[in-house]
Amino acid sequence: MNIQWYPGHMTKAKRAMKEDIKLIDLVIELVDARVPLSSRNPDIDSLAAGKARMVLLNKSDLADERLNAQWAAWFEAKGIHVVKIDARNKGTLKQVQGVVQQACRDKIERDRKRGILNRPIRTMVVGIPNVGKSTFINSFAGKACAKTGNKPGVTKGNQWIRLNKTLELLDTPGILWPRFDDQSVGLKLALIGSINDQILNKDELAGQCIRILKEQYPGTLLNRFDLETEDKEPAAILEDIARARSCLMKGGELDVARASALLLDDFRAGKLGRVTLEQPGE
């Protein structure tokens, strides 16, 4: 499966971010905790050069907690401040304000020495499509400031949001990079929903999901669908899922396409358990 997706609006968004970065003190990057490396846009490192950095491991409630801790340590070893969050749960966001202050400590001290007091920290919130930026901003602000949606590409332009006297956020569209040289990256992004489903072969994607789960989290499909999967190929397992969930077409024929969509929806919603698809050092 060859996966590439780079809509035209992303080029425009990247240009706007390059202009706005001059105004920014801190870059807050949201990544999906299930694929913390694959869900990082490699262009962000050059874009944010010289700026304070912070990573939010979003959807950490859906990821393997043991690997959450390992990934947090991996980012911190690179000098990047980290908070594990679930953007839908305000309780997990309580640490963010304090870590923002910590990440910008040098900037705050420079302002103090110049006699500049209480100037708000300006942050740019970045991330790939469907990683939860707008949900995070709305939860963090306590009000609906940014458009959200359960599909990539909802946010189209940059938007300044003043949270309080000490913090301003710049919401930016989700941007990918023009080409996935490593197709395993494209596969992982498709699995978490960061690639437009309309360009994907869902049957093939579901088959790849089954292969990964069998290898990395054996027993997951048995627990969810009460199916034995050992020594079975993905196509046969998809047929078993179609039977187990009564995914049938007229005449009683198995609706494998519906079973594939169901499996992918379950994976993305965390109904298959806490799964992380990559680990530091791979």
**42-46, 147-151, 270-274: which is most confident:** 270-274
Reported pTM: 0.86
Q: Write down the domain spans for the chain.
A: 7-169, 200-267
Q: What is the pLDDT of residues 110-150, one digit of tens each?
A: 988 998 887 899 999 999 888 999 899 989 988 666 554 44
Instruction: Using pLDDT thresholds of 50, 70 and 90, give the confidence band for residue 4.
Output: low
Residue 79, annotated as binding a ligand: no
Q: Starting from the edge strand earliest in sequence, which strands make up the sheet with 26-32, in order?
A: 81-84, 52-58, 26-32, 121-126, 167-171, 159-164
Q: Reduce the DSSP state of residue 148 to 3 states and report it.
A: coil
Alpha-carbon distance 188 to 277, whole Å? 8
Residue 138, annotated as binding a ligand: no
Of the candidates 214, 155, 193, the one whose C-alpha atom is nearest the C-alpha of residue 270 is: 193
Residue 131, annotated as binding a ligand: yes
Helix (H) / strand (E) element for 206: namely: helix 202-216
Residue 174, annotated as binding a ligand: yes
Residue 134, annotated as binding a ligand: yes
Residue 130, annotated as binding a ligand: yes
Residue range 165-182: average pLDDT? 80
Please check the confidence at residue 93 and state whether its pLDDT lies above 80: yes
Residue 270, annotated as binding a ligand: no
CATH fold for domain 7-169: Rossmann fold (3.40.50)
Helix (H) / strand (E) element for 67: namely: helix 65-77
Find the distance separating the first CA and the last CA of the chain, reported in whole Å. Answer: 21
Residue range 157-179: average pLDDT? 81
Q: What are the residues facing 54 on neighbouring strands?
A: 28, 81
CB 47 within 8 A of CB 18: yes
Q: What is the pLDDT of residues 188-229, one digit of tens each?
A: 999 999 888 887 899 999 999 999 999 999 888 888 988 887
Residue 223, annotated as binding a ligand: no
CATH code 1.10.1580.10 for 200-267: yes
234-249 residues labelled b (16+ CB within 10 A) or e (exposed):
beebbbbbbeeeebee
Between 178 and 230, the higher pLDDT residue: 230
Between 8 and 56, the higher pLDDT residue: 56
Residue 11, annotated as binding a ligand: no
From residue 105, how far is each of 25, 99, 140 by CA, in Å? 11, 10, 21
Instruction: Using pLDDT thresholds of 50, 70 and 90, give the confidence band for residue 151.
Output: very low
